[in-house]
Amino acid sequence: MVLLNLYIVYFVVCILSVNSTCTTNNDEDVRKFPLNFAFGTATSAYQIEGAWNVSGKGENIWDKYVHKNPNVVIDKSNGDVACDSYHQYDRDIEMLKELGVDYYRFSLSWSRLLPTGSVANVNNDGVDYYNNLINGLLKHNIIPFVTIYHWDLPQKLQDLGGWTNPIIQDFFEDYANFVFRQFGDRVQHWLTFNEPKQICLCGYGQTTFAPGLNMTGVGDYMCGHNLLLSHARVFHLYDKKFRIKQAGSIGITIEGTWSEPFSSSKEDFNAAERFMEFEAGWFMNPIFSIKGDYPAVMKERIAVNSAIQGFSKSRLPEFTEEQIRLLKGSSDFLGLNFYCSTMARHINTNVSSEPSYEDDANVYSYVNQSWPHAASSWLTVTPWGFHNYLNRIKNLYDNPEVIITENGYSTWGGLVDNDRIKYINLHLNALLDAIKDGSKVTGYTVWSLMDNFEWQQGYSEKFGMYEVDFQDPSRKRIPRKSAKYFIDVIRTKSVKHYDPEYYEINDCTNSVYV
């Protein structure tokens, strides 16, 4: 997908290149992005919109989950009001304008548009809301980049079994058809899903995310299967019915964590590979590999463990040849969310009688305590892992176009967020290293535009380039230092080379800030 018109960009870059970037007098310290490279920032509906029961919106699984089990969220908060973007979207657009982003990645709330999940029952206020948002973005030349599903299933569909019931494929296809018809005349960049692995592992395998089914080794694989088939159907729907007329592109976002072997032993190397195959490979392999289907190591291990446990067939559902074919290549680009790395160690375990994803993967995966990390305990700062991960994608999947749909850093708050600036700088440098190695990365998205409802962490961990005052009824938003840093990156389409010997973020005094 080409997010940017080259000629306009070239013109802007020429004008801006007379300005110097932050702290450097040495041209060699400045690394330029390709001319058609695009920058953006991301949010998701449940995390920012609020207005959970306003103007005809139906209940979704996160509404229900957090209302019923307030203790799953660390500060017992919820997304009832969140950033109140349902009412404050003008300010959101203004912030995007301040940043100068090329695009804004946001998600549609299925139950705001279709309160029961079905196209038989449309909520026109919901349609108006997204029309206003999309039109407002376009008015300011900000490209809307729309995620169709970011975790908030209409509750009625969950009552039918959610992603474990194959009927969900029909509902998802109808919903996607509806949004292409409503918004596709102006939206040309689509993502079917955000992070299938999290939806299925955390929501169906564990209790960390809604709907909290806690059926590890069974519910997670059923969810993944229907989700992949739903994705393929919507890709082909777009391809056949909308692509020519709407001239857009459609992909999927998958999160990738780099897994670093504990030692140079073959066993640890295999454990790290197995970890990555069970996590992102579960969804990348069927769509992006030449051969298609689930990763071989997943198929083998789950089949063996299922047999030992007395199942008559594998707990991992099988694709037909036709389904493998439909899934292969069903994405115009790979949306990659990259945050961090983990360590992997080989372990010898006896398969327990209970089905379990962990047993199936059979990897001891842990956070290396010597790596720096963000406020979120899982979020280690490993830009080298980002570089490695991009190389892995290039080599494994025949070098697809990649858009970084999320990358970001959490703090406990405060406007001077030097650590976030450093994180973004390091990851942009790693991204440029990967491009140098031949990766086709065309866009970079910061998670997030502003602080928001961070799922089970509530409002405690803050990912925003804008701080949001959750005590203020109008949810006032204030730019952090990182917003100002990102403005410079976008304006100059360049980033300073990171060198711990002399790099000082505090030196950024020459930049033109808002």
| Site of interaction with ligand GBH (CB under 6 A) | 44, 194-195, 198, 208, 255, 337, 339, 378, 406, 447, 454, 463
| Min separation Cβ 242 and ligand GBH, Å | 25
**Other beta carbons less than 10 A from residue 18's beta carbon:** 6
182 or 341, CB closer to ligand GBH?
Answer: 341
195 is catalytic: yes
406 is catalytic: yes
For 497, phi then psi, to 5°, come to -65, 135
Quote the CA–CA distance of 355 and 303 in Å, as a whole number.
11
Question: For residue 455, what are its two tokens?
Answer: 């799922």
Beta bridge partners of 40: 103, 445
Residue type, 448: S
Evaluate whether 231 touches 197 at the Cβ level (below 8 Å): no
260 or 406, CB closer to ligand GBH?
Answer: 406
| Min separation Cβ 353 and ligand GBH, Å | 25
Backbone region of residue 372 per phi and psi (left: phi > 0; alpha: psi in -120 to 50; beta: other values): beta
Catalytic, out of 49, 59, 195, 277: 195
10 or 378, CB closer to ligand GBH?
Answer: 378
If DSSP codes are grouped into helix, strand and coil, which group holds residue 434?
A: helix
| Min separation Cβ 209 and ligand GBH, Å | 8
Evaluate whether 152 touches 108 at the Cβ level (below 8 Å): no
| Min separation Cβ 461 and ligand GBH, Å | 8
Residue type, 184: G
CA distances from 37 to 40, 218, 262, 388 (A): 10, 41, 35, 20
Quote the CA–CA distance of 410 and 202 in Å, as a whole number.
20
Which among 221, 188, 173 is positioned nearest to 333, based on CA atoms?
Answer: 188
260 or 279, CB closer to ligand GBH?
Answer: 279
59 or 406, CB closer to ligand GBH?
Answer: 406
Which among 27, 73, 25 is positioned nearest to 46, based on CA atoms?
Answer: 73
157 or 280, CB closer to ligand GBH?
Answer: 280
| Min separation Cβ 391 and ligand GBH, Å | 21
Local structure of residue 296 (DSSP, 8 states): H
Evaluate whether 157 touches 114 at the Cβ level (below 8 Å): no
Backbone region of residue 463 per phi and psi (left: phi > 0; alpha: psi in -120 to 50; beta: other values): alpha
| Min separation Cβ 255 and ligand GBH, Å | 5
| Min separation Cβ 54 and ligand GBH, Å | 22
Which among 288, 275, 272, 389 is positioned nearest to 333, based on CA atoms?
Answer: 288
For 391, phi then psi, to 5°, come to -65, -40
Which among 487, 492, 410, 402 is positioned nearest to 448, based on CA atoms?
Answer: 410
149 or 319, CB closer to ligand GBH?
Answer: 149
| Min separation Cβ 435 and ligand GBH, Å | 23
Quote the CA–CA distance of 95 and 452 in Å, as a whole number.
15
374 or 435, CB closer to ligand GBH?
Answer: 374
| Min separation Cβ 452 and ligand GBH, Å | 7
Evaluate whether 111 touches 158 at the Cβ level (below 8 Å): no
118 or 208, CB closer to ligand GBH?
Answer: 208
Regarding beta strands 30-32 and 494-496, do their DSSP bridges make them parallel or antiparallel, or are they unpaired?
A: antiparallel
**Other beta carbons less than 10 A from residue 3's beta carbon:** 20
- Chain-centroid distance of CA 203 in Å reads 16
Quote the CA–CA distance of 308 and 352 in Å, as a whole number.
9
319 or 333, CB closer to ligand GBH?
Answer: 333
Q: State the Cα angle at 104 between 431 and 429, rounded to 5°.
A: 15
| Min separation Cβ 294 and ligand GBH, Å | 21
Evaluate whether 390 touches 428 at the Cβ level (below 8 Å): no
Regarding beta strands 466-468 and 477-479, do their DSSP bridges make them parallel or antiparallel, or are they unpaired?
A: antiparallel
Catalytic, out of 59, 273, 279, 406: 406
Active site residue ranges: 195, 406
